[in-house]
Amino acid sequence: MVALYLAGPDVFLPHAQAVGAAKKELCAAHGHAGLFPLDSDLPVASGAGVATLIYRANIAMIHKSAAVVANLTPFRGPSADAGTVFEIGYALALGKPVFAYANVAADYRARVIDSHGPLVATAAGEWACDGMAVENFGLHDNLMIAESIAGQGWEMIVHAAPAEAIFTDLQAFEACLKQVSAHFRA
Amino acid sequence: MVALYLAGPDVFLPHAQAVGAAKKELCAAHGHAGLFPLDSDLPVASGAGVATLIYRANIAMIHKSAAVVANLTPFRGPSADAGTVFEIGYALALGKPVFAYANVAADYRARVIDSHGPLVATAAGEWACDGMAVENFGLHDNLMIAESIAGQGWEMIVHAAPAEAIFTDLQAFEACLKQVSAHFRA
C-alpha cells in the first residue's frame, strides 16, 4: 500500500468532497491510500489564518505521502493549476515520485492559440498577443512541468475527456494508479 | 555574495537576454551573483531533446543557488507562470529561501473577475464562470504560492508597474535583492 497525495484543482469543485471520496475509493481498489487535500482537520484554536493552516496541512500531507498523483488539467488559462504545479515541484525535490494526468488532449501551444489567438512567427520563434514567446516542444505544458514528469521514466497520462467532464472524469487518474502500482512493484 | 537563481517568465520576452543581463547587473550591485535560466550552455551533442536539456540545466542551477528570486507576475491567466511556480516549490523543498515579487497589484480574486467575469456568491463560497470556487483570502495568488513565501518570515513584494512594463520593471525585483541581503546578513 502506497500513501498518495492527490494534488489537483479538484478541491475547487462544488462537490469536491465527493470527487475526493471517489478518488480515494479508486486508490483503495488499487491497494493504495489516497490523501485528499480537504482531508485535513484544521486546528481551529490556532492563531494563524485559514490559508496558512491549509498550506501547512497540504505540505504535511506531501511529506507523509510516498508519491503524488497530480491532476494537471489546464485551469483558468493554458497551464495547470498553480497550487498543483507548486506541489509537484515540492514533491519532486523531496525525491518523491510524481504521477500526473490531464483531461485535455491539446498541447500547450494549441491551448495558448485557443486562449490568446493566432501566434506571430518570426525567425526568433513564435509569439502570442502578449508579446511573449510560446514554447513549441509539442509538450502538454511549460517544459518544467512536462519534463519533470517524463524525466522520471514514465509519461504523463493525457486523456481527451468530454468537455463537461474534464474535472470529474477519473479514467486518466486510474491510469496513473496503474503506473503507481507498476513503479512500486518493480 | 549569494548565488541567486532568477526564476520568471522573463525568459519568454523578445529581449530576454537583455533583461537577464539587467537583472544580473542589479544582483552584482547588491553584492550577489544572479543565475539566469538562459545562461546555461546546452550540450549540443546529447541525445536528449532541447526541452529535456533546458529542464536539467534549470534544475542544476537551482541546486547550485543559495536562494531563488522569483517573478510571480501573472502570466497568461490569473496565476503566475507555471514553470516559475514549479521552481519555487522545488527550491523550497530543498530548504532554499525564496524571495518573490509581482508587478501587478490586484489580488488573485480580482484577477479571476478580470479574466472570467463576475463571480456568483452562494453560502458555500464564490464561483467563477468555470463552475469552480475562487479563493478569497486577499492573497496575491493560489494560497500554496502566497503562503509559501509568507511562511518564511517575509512578504512577497507586490508593485503596481505601468501596464506596458509589467515584465520589465525591475523596482520590485530590486526590493527582493534587499530582502536577500537582509536575510543572509542576519
Between CA A62 and CA A5 the distance in angstroms is 6
A49, A90, A143 ranked by CB distance to B55: nearest = A143
B50, B132, B143 ranked by CB distance to A83: nearest = B143
Angstrom CA distances, B150 to A51, A61, A74, A154, B77, stand at 11, 19, 26, 34, 22
pLDDT of residue B158: 98
pLDDT of residue A41: 73
Length, in residues, of chain A:
186
CA–CA min distance B79, chain A (Å): 6
CB–CB contact B130 A90 (8 Å): no
pLDDT of residue B41: 73
Between CA B108 and CA B113 the distance in angstroms is 9
| Number of Cα atoms under 13 Å in the Cβ half of residue B17 | 3
Instruction: Classify domain A3-106+140-185 at the CATH topology level.
Output: Rossmann fold (3.40.50)
Percent of chain B whose predicted confidence (pLDDT) is above 90:
93
- The helix/strand/coil state of B101 is strand
Instruction: Classify domain B3-105+158-185 at the CATH topology level.
Output: Rossmann fold (3.40.50)
CB < 8 Å from B in window 39-78 of A: 49-52, 54-56, 58, 75-78
- Global ipTM: 0.97
Query: What are A71-116's pLDDT values in tens digits?
Result: 999 999 999 999 999 999 999 999 999 999 999 999 999 999 999 9
A83 — contact with chain B (CB < 8 Å)? yes
pLDDT over 70 (residue B43): no
CB–CB contact B86 A85 (8 Å): yes
pLDDT of residue A157: 98
Burial class of residue A27 in the structure, from the number of CB atoms within 10 Å of its CB (0-12 exposed, 13-18 middle, 19+ buried) = buried
- Which residues in chain A have their CB less than 8 angstroms from residue B63's CB? none
Between CA A11 and CA A9 the distance in angstroms is 5
Cell 498541447 found at? A107
Chain-centroid distance, C-alpha A23: 14
Longest dimension (CA), chain A: 59
pLDDT of residue A2: 94
- The helix/strand/coil state of A65 is coil
CB–CB contact A82 B82 (8 Å): yes
CB < 8 Å from B in window 84-103 of A: 85-94
Query: What are B47-88's pLDDT values in tens digits?
Result: 669 999 999 999 999 999 999 999 999 999 999 999 999 999
- Which residues in chain B have their CB less than 8 angstroms from residue A129's CB? none
Q: Looking at the whole model, is its pTM more than 0.80? A: yes
| Number of Cα atoms under 13 Å in the Cβ half of residue A165 | 9
pLDDT over 90 (residue B127): yes
pLDDT of residue A46: 59
B56, B127, B143 ranked by CB distance to A51: nearest = B143
CB < 8 Å from A in window 117-156 of B: 124, 127-128, 130-135, 137, 139, 141-148, 150-151
A83, A135, A142 ranked by CB distance to B144: nearest = A83
Q: Which residues of chain A have pLDDT under 50?
A: none
> Any alpha helices (H) in chain A, and if so which ranges?
16-29, 50-64, 82-93, 108-116, 143-150, 171-185
pLDDT of residue B132: 97
